[in-house]
Amino acid sequence: MPTENALKARSNNSCELCTSPANLSVFPVPPTSDLSAQQSIYLCDTCLGQVEGNAELDINHMRCLTDAMWNQEPAVQVMAYRMLHKLSAESWAQDALDMIYLEDAVKTWAEQGIAAAEREGPTRDSNGADLQDGDNVTLIKDLKVKGANFTAKQGTMVRGISLTDNPEHIEGKVNGTRIVLVASYLKKA
């Protein structure tokens, strides 16, 4: 796997957050990752569980973020920023957030993941299927598009949707126009 080999070389075969050499795996950094080494990081099981939210945050273990935030790799900076944000109730984490410097594009990437995590709940289609950024959906009824003078017809495919802050809405292109659609009028393709 070329991504994993690149991450092994980049990280010196250790976790890019805590430097542990044990049980390492590739983690594509959400919300959008092309699965390349530039948009992925190498994590140990302990860090992976905490990043994914499958394990309770171990505050002492996460103190490693005060070193990881200075890593030169944008994907590592993004994950350190997001985890420090989760821990911002801790004074040391808040101090680290005050000190961290991210390029504008990297900060935007980091904040996209925070916004996605803080969204009220999952966005679901008319059948209750979870929708994700990049999914394709089909309209299940005709919808009049206000301000654009056209009707989006039932059966129209909307490709590569984007989720919004409101779990009841998505954004997508219909007839070349980017519009907001109500998720309950859509079916995952």
Burial of 107 (0-12, 13-18, 19+ CB in 10 A): middle
Beta-bridge mates of residue 138:
157, 187
114's tokens:
């925070």
Q: Which of 40, 46, 78, 71 is nearest to 59 (CA)?
A: 46
Q: Are 158 and 139 in contact (CB under 8 A)?
A: yes
Handedness of CA 19, 20, 26, 32 (dihedral sign): negative
Query: What is the pTM for the complete model shown?
Result: 0.62
* Interior angle at CA 45, CA 84 and CA 30, nearest 5: 55
CATH hierarchy code of domain 123-188:
2.30.30.40
pLDDT digit string (tens) for the chain, length 189 residues:
688 899 999 999 999 999 999 999 999 988 766 788 899 999 999 999 988 877 888 899 999 999 999 999 999 999 999 999 989 889 999 999 999 999 999 999 888 877 666 655 688 888 888 888 889 999 999 888 877 788 889 999 999 998 887 778 888 888 888 888 888 899 998
Residues of each domain in the chain carrying CATH 2.30.30.40: 123-188
